[in-house]
Amino acid sequence: MQDRINRIIEEVEQFRPSDREQVEAFRVKYLGRKGILADLFAEMKTLQADQKKAFGQLVNHLKTVAEARLEEFNSHFESDGDNRIPDGMDLSLPGYPLAKGSRHPVSLTRKKILDIFQRIGFVVADGPEIEDDWHNFTALNFPENHPARDMQDTFFIRQDEGGNSIALRTHTSSVQIRVLEHTRPPVRILAPGRVYRNEAISARAHCFFHQVEGFHIDKNVSFADMKQTLLYFAREMFGSEAGIRLRPSYFPFTEPSAEMDVSCNICGGKGCNVCKHTGWLEIMGCGMVDPNVLQNCGISPDEFSGYAFGMGIERIAMLLYNVKDLRLFSENDVRFLSQFSREQ
C-alpha cells in the first residue's frame, strides 16, 4: 500500500506538462473531486486505526507535493503566453529610462580639433597604423642608426622581405609621407589617428594614444603662416584670450622646429598647479617641413615649402576637461565616461 502511494508521488514529481491542457488534466487526475487523492482519502476512512496514521501521513505528503507542482505549472504557463494583465500592474506608469551612451572624450576632442582646422580649409587624410620604416622614420629624415630614432620607443612587428622593419606607427607624421607621395601641393591636411609607443604606462604616458598631425605645403608658405594658424587654433580651442609661445626644439622632419605652449587656461597665466606655476602649457610640436622630407616625396623644396604640427589628443583633452590621469581614457569606466554625456 505504501509502495503504491510512493509510486504515485514519484509520478507526480516526474510529470512534465507541455501545455495548459495537460496542467488541467493533472489537476483533475490528482486533485479533482473524483481524483486519486479523493479516492485515497475515502479509502483511509475504511482503515483500522493503527494503519490510518501512517497512511494518512503519506497521503497528506502526496497532497502537498501535488499542490506544489500544480502551482509551479500554473505560474510557468501564466508567464509564458498569458496576455492577461496581472493584478496590481499599472500600465500607465512610465517605463524604466534607458541609459544613453555618450561620446568618448577623445572623440569629442578630436572633433573639436578637426572642426577648427576644417573651417580654414584643412581636409582629413588617413594612414595605416602598421607602418614600414620608410614612412615612419626614413622618409621623415630620421637617419639610419641615428639617436633620433630612440626618441620614440617603437613596437617592432617583423622585417619585410627586403629586411626593413615593420612597426606600429609611433606618430601620425607618417601620414605626411603617405599623402605627399601621391598628392601635389598645394595641400592642407589633417591626419588624426592612434599611435603606439613602447612605454611604461603611468598617469602621464601610455603605450597607445592619439594624435592629430597637420601640414600645409604650397608656394611661399612661411613660419609666420604657421604661427598665425596655430594662434588661431589656440584661441578657438582655449578661448579668445589665449596666447601662444614657440620654444626652439628639435624634430628630424622639421627645420626649424619648435614646441608650442599655450597660456594656462586655468589660471590665465598667473601660475597654478596645472601649469606647474609657469603660466604655460605645452600642447604641440611644430616646424617648417625639412627640405629632405619634401625631396623624399618627389617634391621640389625650391618650389614648395610648408609647415607641419602634431599634437596629442589626450593631452588636449586633459587640459580641456581637467583630467589628471591619462589611463582614464582607455579604462572604459562608465563613472568617468558618463561625465561627458552632455557634450556634443
- Of 152 and 265, which has the nearer Cβ to ligand DAH? 152
Shortest approach of ligand DAH to residue 132 CB, angstroms? 17
Alpha carbon 50 to its chain centroid, in Å, reads: 76
Q: Which three cell numbers stand for residue 342?
A: 552632455
- Of 131 and 213, which has the nearer Cβ to ligand DAH? 213
- Of 282 and 340, which has the nearer Cβ to ligand DAH? 282
| Three-state secondary-structure class, residue 95 | coil
Residue 254 near ligand DAH by CB under 6 A: yes
Shortest approach of ligand DAH to residue 197 CB, angstroms? 9
Residue 149 near ligand DAH by CB under 6 A: no
Q: Which three cell numbers stand for residue 336?
A: 568617468
Residue 171 near ligand DAH by CB under 6 A: yes
- Of 5 and 326, which has the nearer Cβ to ligand DAH? 326
**Can you give the C-alpha Rg of the chain in angstroms?**
38
Task: Select from 133, 287, 315, 318 the one that contacts ligand DAH (CB under 6 A).
Answer: 287
Could you give the C-alpha distances from 29 to 2, 8, 43, 335, in angstroms and in order? 19, 11, 16, 58
Site for ligand DAH in 292-331 (CB under 6 A): 308-310
Task: Select from 40, 286, 297, 316 the one that contacts ligand DAH (CB under 6 A).
Answer: 286
Tracing cell 618627389 back to the chain, one arrives at: 298
Shortest approach of ligand DAH to residue 256 CB, angstroms? 10
Shortest approach of ligand DAH to residue 205 CB, angstroms? 12
Q: Which three cell numbers stand for residue 243?
A: 596666447
Residue 213 near ligand DAH by CB under 6 A: yes
For the chain, where are the alpha helices, taking DSSP H only? 2-14, 20-26, 36-45, 49-79, 105-118, 133-136, 174-180, 223-238, 291-296, 313-321, 328-331, 334-337
- Of 69 and 169, which has the nearer Cβ to ligand DAH? 169
Is 256 exposed, middle or buried, given 0-12, 13-18 or 19+ CB atoms closer than 10 A?
Answer: middle
Cα 25 from Cα 103, distance rounded (Å): 57
Number of residues that bind ligand DAH (CB under 6 A): 11
Relative to beta strand 244-251, strand 254-263 is antiparallel
Task: Select from 285, 290, 293, 328 the one that contacts ligand DAH (CB under 6 A).
Answer: 285
Residue 141 near ligand DAH by CB under 6 A: no
Shortest approach of ligand DAH to residue 248 CB, angstroms? 12
Q: Which stretch binds ligand DAH (CB under 6 A): 33-41, 69-77, 284-292, 335-343?
A: 284-292
Give the sign of the dihedral formed by CA 192, CA 146, CA 293, CA 164: negative
Shortest approach of ligand DAH to residue 244 CB, angstroms? 15
Alpha carbon 176 to its chain centroid, in Å, reads: 27
Q: Which three cell numbers stand for residue 77?
A: 504557463
Residue 173 near ligand DAH by CB under 6 A: yes
Contact footprint for ligand DAH (CB under 6 A)? 171, 173, 213, 251, 254, 285-287, 308-310
